[in-house]
Amino acid sequence: MANALVVIDVQNDFCPGGALAVAGGDEIVQPINAMMDGFGAVILTQDWHPAGHSSFASSHPGKGPYEMIEMPYGPQVLWPDHCIQGSTGALFHPDLTTDRADLIIRKGFNPAIDSYSAFFENDHTTPTGLEGYLKTRGIRDLTLVGLATDFCVNFSAVDAARLGFKVTVDLAACRGIDLDGSMAAALDGMKAAGVTLAGG
Ligand code: VGL
Ligand code: ZN
């Protein structure tokens, strides 16, 4: 079966009680587990930042979380410290089925560049390797679920569509942050990129 379920960042810090909690983030865990048997491959992504990462507001004196800054690769939202390598917040939600994962891909480990997408860092050029992994396995058909709809799911889905994958985002198994209208923009952007939005 040449299809894959790509589960984006279902980690403690993006769930209620976490450092960058997404409302209802934990509600999607059981639905995602239930979807896994319908796919030939299951891939999990893990946001994985070194302490002091350039996307953290704490790394920019005078700046606060959710403010914008200009990075060499373009505008960047500043976030609360989250998903620090080795921390409890970076672990997958304890109820997420991880045994079914063929691959766990980590992203955001470059201190100077954020990485929302599972395919490219935020410079839109440095690859994570996921494209090669999927294509060499003959996987062309992707369903994306996870957190957050308007950031990492959105960037991953748009990149995947541009790379020629057939992409569905199952919105019933996603939750968003919605910063300054980012949810509506993300839904429009995904549609424009040719992503199929299901479960909304
Ligand atoms: C994410 C903000 C910062 C996400 C990751 O998983 O959507 N958002 N890092
Ligand atoms: Zn992050």
pLDDT at 2: 86
Radius of gyration of the chain (CA): 16
* C-beta 151 within 6 A of ligand 1: yes
Quickly tell me which residue has 């992504």 as its tokens: 45
The residue whose CB lies within 8 Å of the most ligand 1 atoms, and thus the one to mutate among 10, 56, 82, 169, is 82
The tokens describing 192, both together, are 């424009």
115, 116, 145, 178, best to mutate for ligand 1 pocket (most atoms within 8 Å of CB) = 116
Q: Which ligand is nearest to the CA of 8?
A: 1
State whether the beta carbon of 150 lies less than 6 angstroms from ligand 1: no
Q: What is the pLDDT of residue 1?
A: 56
**Residue 121 · residue 72 · CB < 8 Å:** no
Write out the two tokens for 170.
């199952």
What spacing in Å lies between the alpha carbon of 53 and ligand 2's midpoint? 9
107 part of the active site = yes
pLDDT in tens, 172-200: 999 999 999 999 999 999 999 999 999 98
- Which residues of the chain are under the pLDDT cut of 70? 1
The ligand 1 atom nearest the CA atom of 47: 5
Tokens 């955001």 locate to: 108
Q: Which atom of ligand 1 is nearest to the CA of 79?
A: 3
